[in-house]
């Protein structure tokens, strides 16, 4: 990051922005799209009978925090001349928010049918009700095994126990370690879903605390908070619908918790947060000169993204820069190999591929898919695996770095494993009952 970070006041920074008139206009457009996003949240509340819907999560995580806070931070905190590309960034942010928001008013029969065909055939959650302890044992065993391998293969060793955040930042991206880190995340979250998803308030409360504590050793701040978020979603879906006031309170609570985890007790927590989020916008603005230089051809970022489906332990020659991270080879050489790729706003790769049109089309299609999946979630909320996919991919990106196909494969593998174990136990129990019956018959025959 080349921007000089200083603790200037809001009003001083306002008058130091060059071309401030046009910037204010574009920023006003972004505010309007954010207000439209809020309006659609209330429309979705009427349509789906809950404030917890894709558009509310999009507003909190992306419209407000990831984009809104980071844009404000880069406007009023970074003092170098970044105004040349601020307006372009505001246009992209406005298009991205607007396209996702208006997806509420549209639906695609093709997308709806495909979504139904895939999700409706996943294992019904009823097979878990009387076998939760078995599933818990299988998944937790897989978690501790993958976590142990992660400690060995990453080279961090016990650092994952003593300083998880440092291990996460410096070692999770090493060769052969990333797959086991992802596996540890997936198994822990799947365990949580399989065990707490439903109508038990006490289980939700205590397990969210226990699992959040375990997640601490994986080093991700977001992943820690995710378990509490899932508990709230489950409470809203099965026990009692939450009001807008309660959800607003939770949003403030999570913001305070995130700031605490981010600052680790530092007195300058607001400045640290401004720097943290400002880097997203600042780094994202660096793509505009890259786009103008035409280093990447049309669709290159998207096409190379398929490398994400090739595990590095199967092919160690897999490039470190591909898809979204391809731009790092130009802007931040060697960052991917060190496992510390800078964060950027979610529309950057699509802008590199197809400009403003790419930003709009991607966000709109994503909104249509999220709408279709969430509609199935309302129909099959008692199905743990459909709920798992909806929550982890649509409502809140719990598995943010996991490709969509991986999430599908993981869910299907859990379904197959569950069925296999339950059928095996069922056959064993039948044989035991059959053997006992024969034994009793023999005894009764001898007694006769």
pLDDT of 414 above 70: no
What torsion do the CA atoms of 164, 167, 172, 173 make, to the nearest 10 degrees?
150
Closest C-alpha to 262, from 249, 248, 250, 276: 276
Closest C-alpha to 235, from 206, 182, 196: 196
Mean pLDDT in residue range 208-230: 86
Identify whether the C-beta of residue 71 lies closer than 8 Å to the C-beta of residue 93: yes
pLDDT over 70 for what percent of the chain? 65
3-state SS of the chain is CCCCECCCCHHHHHCCCCCHHHHHHHHHHHHHHHHHHHHHHHHHHHHHCCCCCHHHHHHHHHHHHHHHHHHHHHHHCECCCCHHHHHHHHHHHHHHHHHHHHHHHCCCHHHHHHHHHHHCCCCCCHHHHCCHHHHHHHHHHHHHHHHHHHHHHHCCCCHHHHCHHHHHHHHCCCCCCHHHHHHHHHHHHHHHHHHHCCCCHHHHHHHHHHHHHHHHHHCCHHHHHHHHHHHHHHHHHHCCCCCHHHHHHHHHHHHHHHHHHHHCCCCCHHHHHHHHHHHHHHHHHCHHHHHHHCCCCCCHHHHHHHHHHCCCCCCCCCCCCCHHHHHHHHHCCCCCCCCCCCCCCCCHHHHHHHHHHHHHHHHHHHHHHHHHHHHHHHHCCCCHHHHHHHHHHHHCCCCCCCCHHHHHHHHHHHHHHHHHHHHHHHHHHHHHHHHHHHHHHHHHHHHC
Give tens-digit pLDDT for 263-282: 565 556 666 666 677 677 77
pLDDT of 38 above 90: yes
Neighbours of 267 (CB within 10 A): 8
Neighbours of 9 (CB within 10 A): 8
Q: For residue 260, how far is the Cα from the chain centroid? A: 20
Closest C-alpha to 372, from 118, 72, 90: 118
pLDDT of 12 above 50: no
Asked which of 9-23, 173-187, 228-242, 427-441 is least confident by mean pLDDT, the reply is 9-23
Closest C-alpha to 156, from 143, 141, 169: 169
What torsion do the CA atoms of 244, 248, 249, 254 make, to the nearest 10 degrees?
140
Look at the block and give the residue holding tokens 């510390």.
Answer: 340
Instruction: Compute the half-sphere exposure of residue 12: CA atoms within 13 Å on the CB side of its CA.
Output: 7
Give tens-digit pLDDT for 332-345: 666 555 555 666 78
Work out the pLDDT band at 285, boundaries 50, 70, 90: confident
Q: What's residue 1's pLDDT?
A: 39
Mean pLDDT in residue range 119-137: 62
Of residues 328 and 78, more confidence is placed in 328
Work out the pLDDT band at 412, boundaries 50, 70, 90: low
Q: What's residue 375's pLDDT?
A: 85
Taken as a whole, the chain contains a residue count of 448
Q: What's residue 250's pLDDT?
A: 77
Give tens-digit pLDDT for 169-202: 777 766 667 778 878 888 888 888 877 777 778 8
Distance, CA of 415 to CA of 122 (rounded, Å): 7
Q: What's residue 18's pLDDT?
A: 45
pLDDT of 427 above 80: no
Mean pLDDT in residue range 348-372: 88
Of residues 394 and 154, more confidence is placed in 154
Q: What's residue 389's pLDDT?
A: 72
Mean pLDDT in residue range 116-132: 61
Look at the block and give the residue holding tokens 């496992």.
Answer: 339
Q: What's residue 16's pLDDT?
A: 45
Give tens-digit pLDDT for 292-343: 776 666 777 778 877 777 766 677 777 777 776 777 666 766 655 555 566 6
Query: Mean pLDDT for the chain?
Result: 75
Work out the pLDDT band at 14, boundaries 50, 70, 90: very low
Distance, CA of 391 to CA of 377 (rounded, Å): 9
pLDDT of 350 above 80: yes
Mean pLDDT in residue range 411-432: 65
Work out the pLDDT band at 359, boundaries 50, 70, 90: very high
Mean pLDDT in residue range 360-365: 92
């Amino acid at each position: 990051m080349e921007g000089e970070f200083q603790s200037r006041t809001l009003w001083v920074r306002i008058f130091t922005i060059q071309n401030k008139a046009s910037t204010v206009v574009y920023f006003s457009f972004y505010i309007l799209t954010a207000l439209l996003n809020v309006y659609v949240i209330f429309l979705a509340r009427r349509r789906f009978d809950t404030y917890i819907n894709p558009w509310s999560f999009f507003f909190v995580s992306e419209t407000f925090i990831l984009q809104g806070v980071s844009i404000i931070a880069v406007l009023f905190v970074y003092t170098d001349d970044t105004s040349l590309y601020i307006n372009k960034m505001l246009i992209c942010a406005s298009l991205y928010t607007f396209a996702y928001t208006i997806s509420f008013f549209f639906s695609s029969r093709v997308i709806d049918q495909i979504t139904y065909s895939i999700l409706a055939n996943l294992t019904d959650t009823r097979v878990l009700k009387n076998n939760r302890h078995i599933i818990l044992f299988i998944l937790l065993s897989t978690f501790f095994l993958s976590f142990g391998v992660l400690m060995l293969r990453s080279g961090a060793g016990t650092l994952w126990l003593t300083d998880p955040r440092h291990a996460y930042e410096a070692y999770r991206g090493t060769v052969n370690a990333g797959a086991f880190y992802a596996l540890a995340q997936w198994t822990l979250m799947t365990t949580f879903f399989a065990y707490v998803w439903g109508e038990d308030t006490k289980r939700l409360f205590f397990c969210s605390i226990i699992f959040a504590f375990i997640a601490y050793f994986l080093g991700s701040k977001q992943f820690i908070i995710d378990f509490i978020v899932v508990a709230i979603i489950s409470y809203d879906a099965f026990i009692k619908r939450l009001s807008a006031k309660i959800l607003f309170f939770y949003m403030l609570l999570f913001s305070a918790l995130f700031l605490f985890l981010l600052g680790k007790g530092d007195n300058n927590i607001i400045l640290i947060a401004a720097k943290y989020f400002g880097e997203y916008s600042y780094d994202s603005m660096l793509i505009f000169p890259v786009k103008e230089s035409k280093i990447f051809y049309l669709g290159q970022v998207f096409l190379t993204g398929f490398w994400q489906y090739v595990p590095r332990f199967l092919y160690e020659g897999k490039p470190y820069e591909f898809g979204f991270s391809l731009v790092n080879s130009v802007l931040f050489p060697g960052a991917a190999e060190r496992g510390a790729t800078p964060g950027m706003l979610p529309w950057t790769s699509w802008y590199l591929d197809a400009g403003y049109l790419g930003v709009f089309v991607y966000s709109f299609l994503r909104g249509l898919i999220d709408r279709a999946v969430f509609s199935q979630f309302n129909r099959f909320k008692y199905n743990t695996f459909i709920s798992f996919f909806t929550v982890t991919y649509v409502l809140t990106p719990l598995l943010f770095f996991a490709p969509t196909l991986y999430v599908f494969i993981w869910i299907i593998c859990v379904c197959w494993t569950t069925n296999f174990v339950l059928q095996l136990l069922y056959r064993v129990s039948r044989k035991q009952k059959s053997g006992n019956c024969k034994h009793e018959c023999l005894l009764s025959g001898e007694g006769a």
